[in-house]
Amino acid sequence: MNDTLNLLHSHRSIRSYSDAPVSDEMLDQIIRAAWHGPTSMNAQEISLVVVRDAARRARIAELAGGQSWIAQAPVFIAVVIDFHKTDLGVRKAGQAQVVHESMEGYGAAAVDAGIALGNLMTAARSLGLGIVPIGGIRRNPQGMIDLLELPPLTFPLVGLCIGHIKDDAQLKPRLDISTFRHDERYDASAYPTAIAAYDQAMLAYWQQLGRSDGLSWSQNLGNNLKQVYFPQLKPVAAMQGLLNDK
Ligand SMILES: Cc1cc2nc3c(=O)[nH]c(=O)nc-3n(C[C@H](O)[C@H](O)[C@H](O)COP(=O)(O)O)c2cc1C
């Protein structure tokens, strides 16, 4: 395997960071890795807000539901859907932007945000840094909008902690690859067996880490997916003009 594949195959989220700062040069290289990424229609409807100030990171940790690693890691990057930027181009062309009100617009922007997040993670990890993505900023999106001073037609979709690793994490097992890769046509027949095996593997994983609170995959999903876990997304996005009604 080459270095890139080794890096991607060894992904793990890090939730323990040292005080060591991330240099400006490293941060610039990481951000440029996302900036060079592709975007749907070349719309470039993504912006990054870099937060290094400790008090502001502490506030984000609080908004995300008390995630201490956001306050600990020296860099937090918010990945923002930015239809404000595209609106300026559309207006310059003498047209009125509509796509920000549509599911197509939201879906395309969410994909592009995911690509930006992926490039940020790969770039940071290639420099030996640790990362953890943070969807928890959608718990209180209005708080994030206020903190980052985001204008209408924007939305803080996801964030990323970056820093030097203090305590490394173990690779988390995955569902069998037969549940992920389908050749030629979709086939879910192996799912029940794979899920049963994975539930056992996750319980063993938590036990090995000494985590008595660890749940199986199914139990964890049951707790999380039985409700819309971040219900503020839809109303706050609508207040930002991202109506999602088309
Ligand atoms: C979009 C996205 C949002 C996430 N949000 C959070 C989060 O708010 N807090 C957190 O601690 N981990 C978060 N994670 C990390 C996942 O919990 C983690 O990727 C998953 O448990 C698999 O573990 P691994 O990354 O160590 O392999 C997020 C991951 C993704 C991809």
**Residue-range domain boundaries for the chain:** 3-170+227-239
Q: What pLDDT is attached to residue 10? A: 98
CA 132 to chain centre: 8
Mean pLDDT of 75-95: 98
| CB-facing half-sphere around the CA of 77: CA atoms within 13 A | 26
Q: What pLDDT is attached to residue 177? A: 98
- H/E stretch holding 79: strand 75-82
Mean pLDDT of 30-40: 98
The DSSP 8-state label assigned to residue 129 in this structure reads: -
pLDDT in tens, 157-197: 999 999 999 999 999 999 999 999 999 999 999 999 999 99
- 39 vs 81: CA distance, rounded Å: 12
- 210 vs 214: CA distance, rounded Å: 9
Domain 3-170+227-239: give its CATH superfamily: NADH Oxidase (3.40.109.10)
> Angle CA(130)–CA(74)–CA(54) in degrees, nearest 5?
150
Looking from the CA of residue 12, the nearest atom of ligand 1 is: 26
Mean pLDDT of 209-230: 97
Report residue 89's pLDDT band, with 50, 70 and 90 as the boundaries: very high
**Ligand 1 mutation target, pool 62, 67, 120, 134, most atoms within 8 A of CB:** 134
| Region of 244 on the Ramachandran plot (φ > 0 left; ψ -120 to 50 alpha; else beta) | left
Mean pLDDT of 133-141: 98
**Ligand 1 surroundings by CB, under 6 angstroms:** 11-13, 15, 64, 67, 132-136, 158, 169, 172
Instruction: Give the type of residue at 149.
Output: E
CA distances from 87 to 14, 38, 98, 150, 230 (A): 37, 19, 9, 15, 27
Q: Tokens at residue 15, please?
A: 């939730």
pTM of the model: 0.98
Q: What pLDDT is attached to residue 155? A: 98
**How many angstroms does the Cα of residue 133 sit away from the middle of ligand 1?**
5
The pLDDT mean for the chain works out to 98
pLDDT in tens, 9-22: 999 999 999 999 99
- 147 vs 162: CA distance, rounded Å: 19
**How many angstroms does the Cα of residue 87 sit away from the middle of ligand 1?**
32
